[in-house]
Structures are given as structure tokens and as C-alpha cells.
Amino acid sequence: MYLAAIAVFCNEVKGKGALALSRDLGLSYKSAFVLLHKLREAMAEEMKGRVVGGEGKEAEIDGGYFGGYVKPANQKEYRRDRRLQRNQNGKRKAVVIVRERGGNSVPAVFHSESQASAFIRAPIAKGTVVHADKAGSWDNLHERFEVKRINHQEAYSLDGACTNWAEEYFSRLRRAEVGILHHIAGAYLLRYAQESSWREDNRRISNGDQVNRVAALAMKRGKSVDFTGYWQRHVQ
């Protein structure tokens, strides 16, 4: 059953919902939910301590907001602009991705992009040319890296600067949220972000090899960080 679950999980492009897996394999929803999150934990093992870029290499940085869905009011006159902070429910968080062109990526989750500056410096090797948009969150990167900035109000790519690799990652994660998972809880957002990162980095690898790698990672994984004692309410 475990091997079948891994095969079904890896065969999906944008991710696999726990309810769908429970139907495919005849499991309870709880079993499917916990198993999928344990597989995401195993995937994340490959990202521990990862450093991207280096001399002569390029990396892209960008952020996107996920989770915290706010249902719009029924009548138009009562609707509010849900993009504004005052109209949020506090559950929406920023996923920040650092992605090397032609290489691997490192995701992280923060309450806002502006909190990511300290994190960003650690996984990028010195000598890397960094690409970012014009958001003020990335201004301090100029202190350490050669940075190329792109104004997306003017173009998606201009004068050699773009963040299309980072946007490609967000496209996968966004479609997973909208089309597969539907609602991503804040406590699990990092695991979903890491899953999409792993899928994006390994998109050219055959499904069979992906299954073998995830199974090997799961076998090496120790006790679950998120789900040891979860149903007994032993974790915060």
C-alpha cells in the first residue's frame, strides 16, 4: 500500500490531494492525509543545508502569497479588495523561492516578503548573479551580490534580467492550490512549497526514478516532525 501510494503521488504533476488518494487506494482520509505529509517531509530532506549558485551562475528570487482564502461577499456593493492587508484574515503567508537557473531551488515561508532578507543570503553562494523584481524587499541584496532587477510593469524580461524560473515554480504551486489542494492551511504551507520545489527541480526525471528516490528518502526518514502524536494533540 505504501509503494502504491508513492507511485500515485509521484505520477501527479501538480500534487495529489489526500481525499483523492484515499479513494484511489481505499484508505481512510486521515491515513492518506498523514502519509502524504510524511512523503513531503521526506522530500524536504534533500533541501536541508542546500546552497545554490556560485561563480558564473545565476539565481532568481521572488515571493508569492498563498493560503488564507477570503470568500467574497455575495452582493457587489459589499465586496472588498481582498489584496489589501486590512481585508485579509491573517492566514495568508508569503512563499519565497530562491531558484538557480538550470539547477535546484530552496523555498521558505514568511508572514511577508520583507521578513525573508536574512534567509535569502544563506542559501546563495558568493559570486552568484541574482535576479529579482523591483519589490523593496530585495533592495539589501545589492550589498552582497550582483543583482539584476526587472520591473514587471514594463516587461517580463528586459536587458538580461528576468525571474521567469521563479515564476515557473509559482505557477506549479498556484495550480496545485487552486486545482488540486484547494485550501492550504498555514501550518502546512511550507510542506506544500517544498513539494512543489522538489517536483519542479526533478521535472525531467522519469516517474520511475522519482518513485525510487521518494521511497528511498522515506525509508531513511526518522520520526515525523509534523505528525508524531498529531492525532493525540501532542504537538503544538
Please report the DSSP string for 172-232 in residue order. HHHHIIIIII----GGGHHHHHHHHHHHHHTTTS-HHHHHHHHHHHHHH--S-TTTTTTTT
Are 71 and 1 contained in the same domain? Answer: no
Are 66 and 130 contained in the same domain? Answer: yes
Q: What digits encode the pLDDT tens for the residues 136-180?
A: 989 989 999 999 999 999 999 998 899 999 999 999 999 999 999
**What range does the domain containing 129 cover?**
51-202
Q: Is residue 95 over pLDDT 50?
A: yes
Q: How much of the chain is helix, strand and coil, in % rounded to 5?
A: 45, 15, 40
Are 61 and 124 contained in the same domain? Answer: yes
Total domains in the chain come to 2
Q: What digits encode the pLDDT tens for the residues 169-215?
A: 999 999 999 999 888 877 889 999 999 999 999 999 999 999 999 99
Specify burial of residue 28 (Cβ count, 10 A radius: 0-12, 13-18, 19+).
exposed
> Using DSSP, how many helices (H) and how many strands (E) does the chain show?
7, 7
- Measure the N-to-C terminal CA separation of the chain; round to a whole number of Å: 29
Are 122 and 193 contained in the same domain? Answer: yes
Are 120 and 163 contained in the same domain? Answer: yes
Are 43 and 90 contained in the same domain? Answer: no
Are 39 and 5 contained in the same domain? Answer: yes
Distances (CA, A) of 169 to 75, 105, 187, 222, 226: 35, 9, 20, 28, 24
Q: pTM (2 decimals)?
A: 0.90
Are 162 and 97 contained in the same domain? Answer: yes
Residue 133 amino acid letter: D
